[in-house]
Amino acid sequence: MSALTTIGLPVALGIIMFGLGLSLTLGDFARVLKQPKAVIIALLCQLILLPAICFGLVLAFQLPPVLAVGMMMLAASPGGTTANLYSHLFRGDVALNISLTAVNSVLAVFTLPIITNLAILYFNPFDDQLGLQWSKTLEVFAIVLLPVALGMLVRRFAATFADAMDKPVRIASVVILVVVIAGAVASNWALLLANFAQLALITVVFCLISLTIGYLVPRWLRVGKRQAIAASFEIGIHNATLAIVIAQTVLLSTELSLPAAVYGVLMFFIAFGFGFLIRDRADAAATAAGDAAEQPATV
């Protein structure tokens, strides 16, 4: 394992999750009760529908067992700060994003090991590894929640400092995400090239399906458009860094991290294009409604 894997990846993820904590309060969890419909729909899509769809894609694309488990691990990863950024950029309900990220990050401590273990049991990629056992689940807890809790404590007791650091840490999180994924790609370039052809298409398809489901299912169930945009990015932009860290530092497998590495590179462009598509529709609807409201009444 390289220094990037053993030191750089966990530190980078820690900074990203700490930055998430700086933006969270207990009220963000309580807000879930005020928008239960949007939250429940998004979480059901994230936790049940997407892993099922990913499982079907993995079987359809006939991925090798280790890459299949890597895809399932990616599907089980929650959204993160990048989803919040995209939601803000394309006029989604960022408050809903923050609440979903908060709840999803807590749930991921339990759901990610469960889905990963089921995938390992089904695909059996390792002869000598049983998956994420209890001790390794505790590692997932430490990786995901401890930095978030620390960030929330800083916000609770040093709100002015947290507010001042929120934007710089958000920007740094995106930069770190890009650098870490680029570093992971570079350090495993030969292995990535050997598997890129069979991973590029499935990760693109999975990202597009995730974004589309995240937008259309809430709209179909009559959730507001801004909330649907928020759900789309929360469901469609997975925390690739988390999947890479768990694969390489907890399960000690570089190959397991390849789907997340490929996805982490491609999803920036896919989500950006998708954001323009749904934002244009939202703007058109808003403009049409405004024009109709301005028309003089006729007798």
| Average pLDDT score over residue span 185-209 | 84
The DSSP annotation for 11-46 comes to HHHHHHHHHHHHT--HHHHHGGGTSHHHHHHHHHII
User: Is position 255 within any domain?
Assistant: yes
CATH code of the domain in which 194 resides? 1.20.1530.20
Torsion of CA 89, 95, 98, 104, to 10 degrees: -120
User: Is position 287 within any domain?
Assistant: no
Domain interval for residue 49: 3-279
**Per-residue pLDDT tens digits for 71-127:** 999 999 888 677 877 887 888 888 888 888 878 888 888 888 889 889 988 998 775
Q: How many CB atoms lie within 10 A of CB 165?
A: 19
Q: How far apart are CA 226 and CA 92, in angstroms?
A: 4
Q: What is the CA radius of gyration of the chain?
A: 19
User: Is position 108 within any domain?
Assistant: yes
More confident site: 136 or 246 = 246
User: Is position 291 within any domain?
Assistant: no
Beta strand extents in the chain (DSSP E only): none
User: Is position 270 within any domain?
Assistant: yes
Question: Which residues, 6+ apart, have CB-to-CB distance to 222 below 8 Å?
Answer: none
Helix axes 94-123, 225-236, angle to 10 degrees: 40
Number of domains in the chain: 1
| Average pLDDT score over residue span 42-62 | 94
- Here the tokens at position 258 are 């390849």
| Average pLDDT score over residue span 207-219 | 95
pLDDT of residue 243: 86
User: Is position 86 within any domain?
Assistant: yes
User: Is position 296 within any domain?
Assistant: no
**Per-residue pLDDT tens digits for 142-196:** 777 788 888 888 888 888 888 888 778 777 777 776 776 677 667 767 777 778 8
Question: Three-class SS of residue 238?
Answer: coil
Report pTM.
0.78
**Per-residue pLDDT tens digits for 36-47:** 888 899 999 999
User: Is position 284 within any domain?
Assistant: no
pLDDT of residue 181: 67
